[in-house]
């Protein structure tokens, strides 16, 4: 396992992180399976575990707390997020100082720890002054309850630039990390966000790197959906919306490149994200050990320049040729 700094901060995280978004905790068997995967990840060198207060109604944080208790605290990097409602109060949602402070305390209790390493704003709050949100997060750093803070979805480059101005004017602790969606078929952050993060020394820890399973290569054009896959879940519209003929054709061509390089398709997809130095860690999910092993194998894999050019030709996007070769 390779490790990278989070932006210009001193903290180091594994190139592959384990996320909790899709962790199933509905019964004892599911919990045992999730713990086995978390343990296997740790044994393989993963030190970064991503969570949020809204995942599974708080159960994901409580589960992660049980995992943390088995290890020295300095050996694990834990993240959580705040924004979504975790109660019925009118102040129980958003990025107000009150909600941030209340839910940070809730997360600390759920996790059974004195501090959270990385604390994200899960969404952008248009109803709260940005100055209030950033001041609250910086104050939590002063109090030692979080070590670093960042943002996740709905934070455009313009919003990041505005946040940086406020931080500079007020002398606040820096914004350290951004967690957007990023993968081979969703490259929107390359238009402006990547450049902004490079400029300010902000690390990027993307989620959904395999595009809900599309980039695993298990979905094939003209073939039945794999039994038990996410696309067979009636409520999962995200993956089904991605299973277009165009995307499946791209994956077919990308899979041939993976074969030529002697790696599995998920490894190629994850290593492709890690080609950017601004990426600190890639957050993956796993429902069984074999998926975890495939994901972890991507750490340290370097894709040759000619293969990167072939990939860009397939994806039809030339924006970041300056990063290859």
Question: Each residue of 239-297: pLDDT tens digit?
Answer: 778 889 999 999 999 999 999 999 999 999 999 999 999 999 999 998 888 889 989 99
**Quick one: tokens of 49?**
């575990």
Model confidence at 325, pLDDT cuts 50, 70, 90, reads: very low
- Of 128, 183, 116, which Cα lies nearest the Cα of 159? 128
pLDDT digit string (tens) for 117-126? 999 999 999 9
Q: Given a cut of 70, is residue 12 above it in pLDDT?
A: yes
Q: Could you please report the per-residue DSSP string of 172-211?
A: PPPEEEE--B-BTTB-GGGTTHHHHHHHHT-EE--B-TTG
Model confidence at 100, pLDDT cuts 50, 70, 90, reads: very high
Average pLDDT (121-137) is 98
Whose tokens are 């038990």? That residue is 228
Where in the chain are the domains? 3-210+263-302
Average pLDDT (32-61) is 95
DSSP state of 224: P
pLDDT digit string (tens) for 139-152? 999 999 999 999 99
Residues above pLDDT 70, as percent of the chain: 92
Phi, psi of 6 (to 5 degrees): -85, 100
Q: Name the residues annotated as catalytic.
A: 55
- Of 231, 234, 220, 179, which Cα lies nearest the Cα of 202? 179
Task: For domain 3-210+263-302, give the CATH number.
Answer: 3.20.20.100
d(CA 267, CA 301): 8
Average pLDDT (185-203) is 97
| Stated pTM of the model | 0.93
Q: Given a cut of 60, is residue 323 above it in pLDDT?
A: no
């Amino acid at each position: 396992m390779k490790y990278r700094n989070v932006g210009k901060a001193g903290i180091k995280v594994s190139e592959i992180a384990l996320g909790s978004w899709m962790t199933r905790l509905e019964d004892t068997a599911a919990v045992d399976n999730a713990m086995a995967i978390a343990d296997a990840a740790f044994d393989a060198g993963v030190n970064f575990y991503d969570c949020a207060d809204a995942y599974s109604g708080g159960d994901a944080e409580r589960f992660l707390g049980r995992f943390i208790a088995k290890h020295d605290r300095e050996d694990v990097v834990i993240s959580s997020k705040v924004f979504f409602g975790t109660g019925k109060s009118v102040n129980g949602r958003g990025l107000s100082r009150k909600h941030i402070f209340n839910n940070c305390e809730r997360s600390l209790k759920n996790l059974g720890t004195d501090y959270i390493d990385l604390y994200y704003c899960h969404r952008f709050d248009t109803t709260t002054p940005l100055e209030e949100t950033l001041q609250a997060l910086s104050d939590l750093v002063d109090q030692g309850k979080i070590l670093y803070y960042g943002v996740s979805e709905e934070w455009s480059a313009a919003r990041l630039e505005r946040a940086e101005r406020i931080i500079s004017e007020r002398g606040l602790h820096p914004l350290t990390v951004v967690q957007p969606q990023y993968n081979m078929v969703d490259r929107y952050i390359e238009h402006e966000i990547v450049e902004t993060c490079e400029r300010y020394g902000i690390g990027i820890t993307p989620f959904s790197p395999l595009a809900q399973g599309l980039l695993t290569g298990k979905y094939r054009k003209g073939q039945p959906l794999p039994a038990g896959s996410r696309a067979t879940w009636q409520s999962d519209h995200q993956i089904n919306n991605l299973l277009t003929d165009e995307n499946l054709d791209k994956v077919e061509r990308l899979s041939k490149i993976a074969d030529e390089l002697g790696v599995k398709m998920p490894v190629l997809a994850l290593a492709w994200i890690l080609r950017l130095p601004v990426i600190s860690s890639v957050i993956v999910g796993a429902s069984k050990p074999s998926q975890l092993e495939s994901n972890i194998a991507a750490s340290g894999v370097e894709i040759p320049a000619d293969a990167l050019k072939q990939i860009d030709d397939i994806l039809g996007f030339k924006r970041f040729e300056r990063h290859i070769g």
